[in-house]
Amino acid sequence: MNDPKDMAYFTGIPNIEVFNLILELFDNVDLNYYAGWNVQILSWADQLFLTLFKLRRNPSVRDLARRFKVSEGTVKNTFLTWVSALHQMLFVGLMAIVPSRFKMLGQCLKRLKNFLTAGWLWTARKFLLLIRVKLSDQNDRYSNYKHRITF
């Protein structure tokens, strides 16, 4: 899935780099598989891809089983496990650090108070990149103000 268009079409993820970042979130996580047995025939990357593919394009379980050359039980076990894990990691974990809408509105500028239905307010921020980037990408991400690569 090195083609960003294919990656976005099949998974909704813009490119392989973002996919790998999501995968890295689970490096030190022990998954509790839904059916009680571990899926060993598929790599974690394939399991994550299968899950995102199912969420994005909604092929049948039978179709996924044939594409990935596994049983339908393996597809179901993988999908249910990863949906739960993604929910815990990305939603529950993230929501613990995101301020409530009430707190956000209390802190935002007066001219932004018209956006009462906003779920998120993003400010212009730069973050230090903690991942390796290609040399060709460093020019785009180098901050003259911070004197380092930022995102």
Locate the domains of the chain by residue range: 4-95, 101-149
What's the rounded Cα separation, in Å, for the pair 20 and 13? 10
Around 72, how many Cα atoms within 13 Å sit in the side-chain half-sphere? Answer: 5
pLDDT per residue, tens digit, the chain (151 aa), is 789 999 999 999 999 999 999 999 999 899 999 999 999 999 999 999 999 999 999 999 999 999 999 999 999 999 999 999 999 988 887 777 777 766 766 666 555 666 655 555 555 555 554 555 566 666 666 667 666 666 5
Picking from 74, 56, 57, the residue whose alpha carbon sits closest to that of residue 65 is 74
What local confidence, expressed as pLDDT, does residue 37 receive?
A: 95
C-alpha distances out from residue 18 to 114, 134, 139, Å: 33, 14, 19
What's the rounded Cα separation, in Å, for the pair 130 and 84? 27
